[in-house]
Amino acid sequence: MKVNRIGRSIGAEITGVDLENLGPQEFQGILDAFHGNSVIAIRDQDLEPGELVDFSRRFGPLEDQLNARYALVEHPEVLVLSNDMKDGKPVGLIDGGDFWHSDSSHREKPSLATILHARQNPRHGGDTEFADMYRAYETLPDEMKKRIAGLKGIHAVSKAKNKRVTISARRPDAKDHYEMQKSIPDQAWPLVRTHPVTGKKALYLSARFTIGIEGMSEEEADAILDPLFEHQIRPEFVYAHKWKDGDLVIWDNRCVMHRGTGGYTYPDVRTMHRTVVAGDRPF
């Protein structure tokens, strides 16, 4: 097994490993690469959904999928992300992840990791970008570090509650979906969290999910959030993954944000299988 850094501060590729036959020592190697690089791309994998679930569970229990209608019937832990159509209807979630975010930060127990397996890559576009939230925190001016210490961001799942995002017109049911989600309770998490394994501090907020700061007016909160949102996606923190056939990518939601960059149009099809590893309450 070989691990090569491919991004500046995050992102590594792993070759020479077969996830269908993975010994405990090799898994430990993958885990170490995951903690050391925050985003890892394991090349040349051909996993059936059941095998993807078995491998994913080695990281911990899996989350149930909020968009259950696009999960696989036989493997409900696997969500289909796709722009493919069948009988005029989408076969998967089309507009997933188009704004910067950390998966499930709106949940009571936000996600530890997300695993994406490329089933079909488009001929154009379809990159996934990742931003290093350790570096984003480390490079903040001391004044800002002091200002945000102890503050909690409010995370909301519904796009209808967030003035910084728009609802995709490509998904016919999206508007009703987000209206319905308005009643789901928000969560409050430290703007700076400590990674439970590495012990390092990371910025933990995103334009997609963070809509305010606990105990602050909108105006006060915006004066802090807007510069942070701008800072945390500086190009030097970003690794853009260009997908190869057979790629399986795992990222650490506790210390990276991500987004899909789009740039492909049906009938140029992009299909991914996704599992999400559940995490603990950020501190």
- Quick check: 103 and 111 in contact, CB under 8 A? yes
Q: Which is nearer to Fe ion, 103 or 132 (CB)?
A: 103
Cβ 220 to Fe ion shortest distance, Å:
29
Cis amide leading into 227 (omega within 30): no
Kindly determine how many residues on this chain lie close enough to bind Fe ion according to the rule CB under 5 A: 2
In degrees, rounded to 5, the angle at the alpha carbon of residue 101 between the alpha carbons of residues 264 and 175 is 70
Output the residue with the shortest Cβ distance to Fe ion: 97
Task: Select 201 or 208, whichever has its Cβ closest to Fe ion.
Answer: 208
Shortest reach from residue 204's CB to Fe ion, in Å: 15
Cα separation of 4 and 11, whole Å? Answer: 9
Residue 13 binds Fe ion, judged by CB under 5 A: no
CB of 181 vs Fe ion, minimal distance in Å: 16
Taking the complex as a whole, how short is the minimal distance between the CB of residue 101 and Fe ion, in angstroms?
A: 6
Which residue stretch of 100-108, 207-215, 237-245, 270-278 sits at the interface with Fe ion (rule: CB under 5 A)? 100-108
CB 178 within 8 A of CB 167: yes
Residue 31 to residue 69: CA distance in whole angstroms: 31
3-state helix, strand, coil in the chain (%, to 5): 25, 30, 50
Query: Would you say 13 or 103 has its CB closer to Fe ion?
Result: 103
Under rule CB under 5 A, residue 212 binds Fe ion: no
Asked if 247 is part of the footprint of Fe ion (rule: CB under 5 A), the reply reads no
Q: For Fe ion, which is the closer residue by CB, 121 or 253?
A: 253
CB of 171 to Fe ion, least distance (A): 15
Of the residues 13, 63, 77, 103, which one makes contact with Fe ion according to CB under 5 A: 103
Q: Is 97 in the site for Fe ion (CB under 5 A)?
A: yes
- Distance (Å) of CA 243 to CA 14, 51, 119, 126, 150: 14, 20, 10, 8, 38
- In the chain the first and final C-alpha atoms are separated, in Å, by 34
Contact between 252 and Fe ion by CB under 5 A: the answer reads no
Residues that bind Fe ion in the complex, under the rule CB under 5 A: 97, 103
